Amino acid sequence: MFKFVISKSNKIILYNPIFREKVKNIFFMTPAFIIIRLLDVIDIVLFAFLLYQIYMLVRGTVAINVFIGVVLVYLFWLLVKAFDMQLLGTFLGQVIGVSLIAIIIVFQQEIRRFLFMVASASRRGIIHQWLGKEEAGYHVDVREIVQACGNMAKSRTGALLVISRISPVELYAGTGVLLNARLSAPLIETIFFNGSPLHDGALLIVHGTIHAARCILPVSQNLNVPAGLGMRHRAALGITEQNDAFVIVISEETGSISYAEYGKMTHNVSLADLQKKLEAEFPPVNS
């Protein structure tokens, strides 16, 4: 209930004793000592970890702006609830409720990718996926890949090779042709030969074998990507923004070799540097 009172400076002001008491309780009635339990620490760590995983899913994409907006609205709603603003609190509560449906629509790709990762946890181990530990038991033949890249670079044959690490790339295999063939330089060159029906799209290397070809990859949604970047390079950035795969790109125009990882691309790589990088990323199983 509001009251009109006269201040010491003879000004009429609107006064609400209940609101003043609430503000006083918020800012001045805080206990001198805050007791933090072990359970509280675990709660904070788990929440921060979950928030970090969500951020990693949407970083570098247009969805990051939506994610930040949702977090800000939610924090503002908590502040409104703390001050017990009934009208604004009710309105924001309804907005947040409706926003759940909008979030599912906006983040459908990220949710699908997360659920696919969880579904494969029984086979790979979700702890190993999140902590980035290397999965053992298969060997990537680096020499065959480097040999194929060298020959295709000389002939200026455009190529896009995706080598899986921990996160699954089988989700994209459904857009292409399944092969499950032994990894070899002649087969890679044959697939990307201009007259081959499989030369368009990406080649997926999973567990050291050629899993699929002619696969469609998501194009980068990063607004900072240079406008002159070709579709193969954009696709390489796109999948590495969403996945921890290592991607090799060979330009059809210049024959230059590039590789992408974690949403960043390195251009004009020599064969020696490419081999050194691959050997570091995919060491022999028994090493």
Q: What is the pLDDT of residues 143-198, one digit of tens each?
A: 999 999 999 999 999 999 999 987 778 889 989 999 999 999 999 999 999 889 99
What is the pTM (predicted TM-score) of this model?
A: 0.60
Note the Cα 14 to chain centre separation in Å: 51
Q: What is the mean pLDDT of the chain?
A: 79
Q: Which residue reads 């509001």 in tokens? A: 2
Helix, strand and coil in the chain, % to nearest 5: 50, 15, 35
Q: What is each CA distance from 260 to 61, 103, 243, 264, in whole angstroms?
A: 16, 29, 11, 6
Contact 161, 146 (CB under 8 A): no
pLDDT in tens, 191-225: 999 889 999 999 999 989 999 999 999 888 777 77
Q: Torsion angle of alpha carbons 69, 73, 75, 76, nearest 10°?
A: 140
DSSP class of residue 206 equals E
Cα separation, 201 vs 161, whole angstroms: 9
pLDDT of residue 69 exceeding 70? yes
Backbone φ and ψ of 253, nearest 5°: -80, -45
The residues, any chain, with a CB within 8 Å of residue 143's CB and separated by 6 or more, are: 275
Q: How many residues does the chain have?
A: 287
Q: Which fold has domain 142-281?
A: YojJ-like (1 (3.40.1700)
Count, in order, helices (H) and strands (E) of the chain: 11, 9
Contact 250, 236 (CB under 8 A): no
Q: Hey, what are 247's tokens?
A: 């991607």
Q: Hey, what are 187's tokens?
A: 């087969």
Amino acid found at 273: D
In the chain, CATH 3.40.1700.10 sits at 142-281
User: What pLDDT does residue 249 have?
Assistant: 97
Q: Hey, what are 255's tokens?
A: 């024959």
